[in-house]
Structure 1
Amino acid sequence: MASVCGRCNFDDEYKKEMADKIKAAMDGCGTNEADIVEVLVTHNNEQRQAIAETYRVAYGKPLIEDLISELTGDLEEVVCALMTKPREYDAKMLHDAICGAGTDEYTLIGILCTRTNEEIEQIKEAYTTLYEADLVEDIQGDTSGYFGRMLYSLAQAGRQDCDSDDDLADEEAQKLIDAGVGQLGTDECDFNSVLCLSSYRQLKKVFEKYQEKREGKSIEEDIDSEMGSDLKDGYLAIVKVTKDKEGYFAERLHKAMKGWGTDDSELIRLICSHAETDLLWIAERYKEMFEGADLFENVKDECGGYYKSVLLSLIAGRYVSKDE
């Protein structure tokens, strides 16, 4: 059985075989969810798009429309995530965060504070294609204050990509101190100019210099005391991604399953977005951060049915049945 990384023998005949298998799973009385899940989780996103194209030509309808008509609830949501190209998926999540009832700041932070310049440019292009709208303009229209400024800056996809400069890091660390704990009030613009523009390699050096100058006190501690609400969360996300990207996502996964209930949409977003890139490393970091907790087992305890089967398969890198 192929893993989520995809199959090697992926010719036209095989694509038709997979399209037929999904069609058969939806024909007749009832739906064979197991076959649908098995096909989707044992191929990577690019291969799922190819199967969907074969299905569209063979059966005269977009595969995702037929899947939506057959599935419901969390299973429908996770299958839609799997059937969407990664940057289109980000664009849809951002659109929902901005244009839904209220503003989902947590999702905005989770995407814009963690994507590369290239990915943000691709997200903006996908957003315009899907919604005939400009992402930056929509962000401006839906957010305000310094939090809105931070998101606007990140959406420009202008973060520098250069090696760290020790002297400049020293200057920028002092700039952050002077803009925060070194004065009455906070100069959020100076924080923005450093955190949203400097390369991650440079920021890592800046944060080290900052802690030296503050005699052991971290920038996270000072942001926590100086900033408020969503702006604080956004700046902390940038710091955490700079210092420990896998740890940042592990923390979000933990939060999605912590306490009463499960934030299934966040769980789906995180696992599907990282399944083909760094989910393995995030799972290892998860275990280190949360006293040996196992991501696979925690998701197994929190979720059920074929929805659980999809998530566990993505974590394990192999097909996992709903009864395993």
Structure 2
Amino acid sequence: MDPYRQPRPTVVPADPFNPRADAEVLRKAMKGFGTDEKSIIRVLSSRSNAQRLNIAFEFKTLYGKDLDEDLQSECTGHFEEVVLALMTPLPQYYAKELHKAISQMGTDEDTLIEVLCTMSNHEIGIIQDTYASMYRTSLVDDISGDTSGSFRRLLMSLCCANRNESYDIDADRARTDAQALLRAGELRLGTDESTFNAVLCQRSFSQLAATFREYESVTGHPFEKAIKNEFSGDIKDGLLAIVKSVTSRAEFFAERLHKSMAGLGTTDHQLIRIIVTRSEVDMEDIKEAFEAKYGKSLQSWIEGDTSGHYKKCLLALIGCYKP
């Protein structure tokens, strides 16, 4: 898969779009005895996040009620969770996920890695502003107080949102960085973690791609292998997430989806977060990467690991179900 191909979403803004008509459909779906979940799925899975918020505004204008509250009262279980996620403004959703990852018993490092290691400067900045507004505290301070060591330093660097985002590539810089990374890792006893942190958190993704190619041409193996050999634990997972964001972000999220469904039980919260947030970005690419890596479609995995309206909603969001 070409990492620089234009991302392909499965959910795009509806056109034409009539938020008042959608609000009326949702009201009818929840009025009286029973709930018409099919209509809820049909509307919410085929509108963008911004359009859903517009529908909520029209709903309150028409009926004097919060759409979120009505949906919460009518839906249950994981179906309720995915529906409420769809109705949350994206920056608030990410802020809530990060706060939950930090404030729960034990830190959910996977969520911190998934969000901070894959986001652009602009996205990280907006999430930090939203987090501060919602929780009256700094995301940086909360992460700093809940993590430690080289993993904390990696997250602190990423929170600075100071990555070069130019598409220009400096070939000399790529060679210099590749040599510096080699000297900081495989050519020495122990690892100079600060060099890896500085290069992977500052350089643009285009520049890092050139550096990784240079590294492989010198060593004969992918840069990813060096990370696996030199690091362990959360810092290894964080650095690998950055490398994957450079080489194939779709494959990174495909691996995360597979992990959420593999083994005993399903990590539904992670499954929901990735499908809700990536459906408007690159879910078609993720589906393609998933099938290439695991030999079975994402649709088949979801069908085997979920059920009911929850399953139908997830399948609609990945473009595999038409309610």
TM-score range normalised by the length of the shorter chain:
over 0.9
Larger RCO (alpha carbons 8 Å, 6+ apart): 2
Matched, 1:7 2:14: yes
Take 1:285 and 1:105, find their aligned partners in 2: how far apart are those partners?
24
Take 2:73 and 2:147, find their aligned partners in 1: how far apart are those partners?
35
Deviation at 1:24, TM superposition (A): 2.4
Structure 1 segment 240-251 matched on structure 2, within 5 A = 240-251=244-255
Take 2:267 and 2:108, find their aligned partners in 1: how far apart are those partners?
13
Kindly provide the amino acid, as one letter, of the partner of residue 27 in structure 2.
K
Deviation at 1:20, TM superposition (A): 2.2
45, 57, 63: which one aligns with 2:61: 57
Q: Determine the structure 2 residue equivalent to 1:320.
A: 322
Deviation at 1:67, TM superposition (A): 1.4
Q: Residues 271 and 315 of structure 1 are in contact (CA less than 8 Å); yes or no, is this contact kept in structure 2?
A: yes
276, 300, 306: which one aligns with 1:303: 306
205, 224, 234: which one aligns with 1:200: 205
Take 1:120 and 1:60, find their aligned partners in 2: how far apart are those partners?
34
Q: Residues 303 and 311 of structure 2 are in contact (CA less than 8 Å); yes or no, is this contact kept in structure 1?
A: yes
Take 2:39 and 2:269, find their aligned partners in 1: how far apart are those partners?
23
Kindly provide the amino acid, as one letter, of the partner of residue 301 in structure 2.
N
276, 279, 282: which one aligns with 2:286: 282
Q: Determine the structure 2 residue equivalent to 1:119.
A: 123
Structure 1 portions without partners, runs of 5+: none
Kindly provide the amino acid, as one letter, of the partner of residue 5 in structure 1.
V
Q: Residues 4 and 275 of structure 1 are in contact (CA less than 8 Å); yes or no, is this contact kept in structure 2?
A: yes
Q: Determine the structure 2 residue equivalent to 1:178.
A: 183
18, 22, 27: which one aligns with 1:23: 27
Matched, 1:108 2:115: no
Q: Residues 5 and 43 of structure 1 are in contact (CA less than 8 Å); yes or no, is this contact kept in structure 2?
A: yes
189, 193, 196: which one aligns with 1:188: 193
Deviation at 1:146, TM superposition (A): 0.8
Q: Residues 95 and 131 of structure 2 are in contact (CA less than 8 Å); yes or no, is this contact kept in structure 1?
A: yes
Q: Residues 159 and 199 of structure 1 are in contact (CA less than 8 Å); yes or no, is this contact kept in structure 2?
A: yes
SS in 1 for 2:318: helix
TM-score relative to the length of structure 1: 0.92
Structure 2 portions without partners, runs of 5+: 1-9
Take 2:244 and 2:129, find their aligned partners in 1: how far apart are those partners?
27
Q: Across the two proteins, how many residue pairs are aligned to each other?
A: 313
Coordinate RMSD, CA, aligned: 1.5
Q: Determine the structure 2 residue equivalent to 1:230.
A: 234
Choose 268-277 or 29-38, whichever is displaced more: 29-38
The sequence identity of aligned pairs, in percent, is 45
21, 37, 44: which one aligns with 1:40: 44
SS in 1 for 2:248: helix
Take 1:142 and 1:193, find their aligned partners in 2: how far apart are those partners?
22
Take 1:17 and 1:45, find their aligned partners in 2: how far apart are those partners?
17
Kindly provide the amino acid, as one letter, of the partner of residue 4 in structure 1.
V
Kindly provide the amino acid, as one letter, of the partner of residue 277 in structure 1.
V
